[in-house]
A and B are shown apart, each in its own frame.
Chain A
Amino acid sequence: MTEETMEEKVSRLEKEKEEYLEGWKRAKADFLNMKKEEEERVREFIKFGNEAIIRSMVSVLESFYLGLMAWKEETPEKKGMMLVRAQLEETLKKYGVEIIQAKIGEEFNPEKHECLLLEASESPTGTITEEVEKGYALYGKIIRPVRVKVSK
């Protein structure tokens, strides 16, 4: 009788032990996994932490392009401003920014293009007829698509 209950007790305790050990292992694994995820998150944070600033800078860069395009005479002053633009581009490149451009005649691809306008043209339907604004990617993530006009 007593031995029976003893056995029962042992088996119950064994089961409990297994359960606790399992719980402990899980907790430890959870912790280690969380640490890894945290590291990953910190890495992502460092990479994309300045995304907001870069997004705003990209608008400034776009205004630069427009300004230089509107500047018709080739003066040393214009050349200087072109160099300032290049400087800004270089700086952004250092922080993981890649400029994306669309080729005329290229097929429209929403992965990187955004269509602003459909226009009648001789090119095949659904191809790009004009790049209106450049696109930008930060470490491969599109933060602003290339804005284009598409043939209808």
Chain B
Amino acid sequence: MSKILGIDLGTTNSAMAVMEGGEPRIIENHEGNRTTPSIVAVSKGNERLVGLLAKRQAVVNQKNTVFSVKRLIGRKFDDENVKKDKAWLPYELRKAKNGGVEVKMGDAWNSPETISAMILQKLKADAEAKLGEKIEEAVITVPAYFDDSERQATIQAGEIAGLKIRRIINEPTAAALAYGLNKEKNEKIVVYDFGGGTFDISVLEVGDDTVEVKATGGDTHLGGDDFDQRILKYLVEEYKKQEGIDISKDPLAVQRLKEAAEKAKLELSTAMQTEINIPYITSDASGPKHFALTMTRAKLEELVKDFIDKSIALIKETVTASAPKGAGLKLSEINEIILVGGQTRMPAIQKAVKDLFGKEPHKNINPDEVVALGAAIQAGILQGDVKDILLLDVTPLTLSIETMGGVATAMISKNTTVPTSKSQVFSTAADNQPSVEIHILQGERPMASDNKTLARFILDGIPPSPRGIPQIEVTFDIDANSILNVKAKDKATGKEQSVRIEAVTSLNKEEVERLKKEAAEFAAEDERKKELIEIRNRAETAIYTAEKTLKDHGEKISAEAKTIIEEKTKKTQEAKDGDDKEATEKATQELMEELQKVGSSMYNKETPETPETPETPEAPAEGENASSESNQ
């Protein structure tokens, strides 16, 4: 079954997304961008252009470049709004036979549906190219205030584009879906959508998997573009003040200023001030002129304050006014607020909304993409992706086993997707150790005793051998039902032992959180403890090696060297039993050095017939003292 495309068909920009592995993902268009300008044009050569290409040629071809067609779709030509828009739209409009609107593009008169279909067609083709599969169905979003005729026209646009429209959903509902708020019970949600050219407010009520629109409001002619225009105007005026030159007549200068204005607006969302530098912006008889200005966030906020104030007044009205103007609710009755549209990145807007409701709005999903993502989620629900998806669990906490010195050695770390299997080979800690205990733990702390014991078992019958020689393979296997099987196998004898632990991933949320918090709290102390254990383990290994060397090769070692080793062994043993980390480390180091000396002198003794060993120059050099003495 082919994927259903989620489409946010916007007034200024459109975006699309699909479900992938249970998550919605934005699909980039052919030009490699995540949003596509909702602009269509027919060039002089009768070629159809959509998106960025249409935008680039807008100046050359003003009359045949159609944008903002969403303002016209499904409306009557005599509609008041259409009349207003007709006054400023640069392309020609006329009354269609059915009373609707027709738009002139090239030599033809087109319905707004046909124009929208051209945008949808591009999105469809680009998605097919990106995904490598045919797209036949889509979910399209529309503003909550769209009436039946506007919705029908949008469906028709989809059909003209060769898409079966599985559902039309409201933009604010899509945003709520993207934030997963559709599952809440009896919640009242306000969606504040400040797009490029329109400002929409919707009050939603969620209950029993239904989302009801209680009220809509806003201003269809207020958007982020107005903010850019304000900044641009300010920059032009400032320049006039600074240099006495009006650069608004120079198209290149205006273009560069526009870019600078947009950049400044974005930067002031994170920084308190920004430098606008445009060298060689223009020139006059006296030579080149530059533009340099420091703009503060406060200045920007002052410039657009009335827009923000207006938007806040509109929210108040939409929420509190009685029906049909508003939802007839108190501001305090609103449970959640969602910010949509690029302009909501502005901190002053976020703050104004927060202050109005007295709570933090949802804003962590990219506000330019949240509606398309929600549309994809709706598509996923229709496709069965969301419900039927094979939900794979993850391990909430690390699973480990206890090793020498009481250290918890991780086998499967937390957040690993199950089913999974990991194995590692361990060995014994003492000579002739007949059995090993497998102590299975759960938790994030480095020391075994601080974690939760899940099970213990013993693998015995290990044939007598020096420590470190037996190979015990321990395997942790978690199946899809979260059942952990731990198996220990002696590779030499093939003997094995295992244990089965039920439901290791089904810890309750609070417990997981508590354990994680604990781990973070004790992180530093735990690290010290673990370090001390590791040093002690090294000391123990050194003592063991020393004792073994004396026992096995005692006759080859000079009495003098033997005394030194015994002394150092004793010192290491004492240090190890104490709590002094540095002393243990130092004693271990010295003991190891001594052992190395003895080792190399023994090596020299064992090979007296080959005194010339030019290929190993470092051996005689290192053991020089020891060898000359012990050779006596």
Contact = CB atoms under 8 A, between A and B. Distances in A.
A108 B57 contact: yes
Given A63-B279, A117-B59, A118-B59, A110 B255 contact: no
Contacts of A116: 59, 251-252, 255
14 contacts: A34-B21, A63-B280, A110-B43, A110-B49, A110-B53, A111-B53, A113-B57, A115-B58, A116-B251, A118-B59, A118-B60, A126-B60, A141-B31, A142-B31
Nearest to A66: B280
A150 interface: yes
B287 A115 contact: no
A69 B252 CA distance: 15
A70 B280 contact: yes
Given A110-B43, A110-B53, A117-B59, A147 B288 contact: no
Contacts, number: 59
B32 A48 contact: yes
A45 B255 CA distance: 30
Residues of B contacting A: mostly: mixed
A108 B59 CA distance: 11
Interface string B200-235: 000000000000000000000000000000000000
Contacts of A133: 252
Contacts of B60: 108, 115, 118, 126, 150
Interface in B270-316: 278-280, 283, 287-288
B54 A115 contact: no
Nearest to A111: B53
A147 B32 contact: no
A132 B44 contact: no
A141 B32 contact: yes
Given A116-B251, A117-B251, A141-B32, A67 B57 contact: no
Contacts of B56: 110, 113-115, 145
A23 to B, nearest CB: 8
Interface string B232-274: 0000000000000000000110010001000000000000000
Nearest to A148: B60
Interface residues of A, number: 29
Interface string B57-93: 1111000000000000000000000000000000000
Chain A interface, DSSP helix/strand/loop, else mixed: mixed
Contacts of B53: 110-111
Interface in B11-37: 21, 31-32
Contact of A115 (B57, B280, B390): B57
Contacts of B288: 66-67, 70
Q: Would you list the 8 A-B pairs with minimal beta carbon distance, nearest first?
A: A66-B280, A110-B57, A70-B288, A114-B56, A115-B59, A115-B60, A110-B53, A110-B56
Interface in A87-119: 108, 110-111, 113-118
Q: Which of B21, B57, B283 has the most CB of A within 10 A?
A: B57
Contacts of A110: 43, 49, 53-54, 56-57
Given A66-B279, A150-B60, 9 more contacts: A48-B32, A63-B278, A110-B43, A110-B56, A113-B56, A116-B252, A126-B60, A141-B31, A150-B59
Nearest to B288: A70
Contact of A147 (B21, B31, B252, B278): B252
Given A66-B280, A70-B280, A141-B32, A147 B255 contact: yes
A68 B58 CA distance: 31
A89 B317 CA distance: 56
Contacts of B54: 110
A111 B54 CA distance: 9
A145 B53 CA distance: 10
B586 to A, nearest CB: 46
Nearest to B278: A63
A74 to B, nearest CB: 17
B388 to A, nearest CB: 12
Interface string A70-83: 10000000000000
Contacts of A111: 53
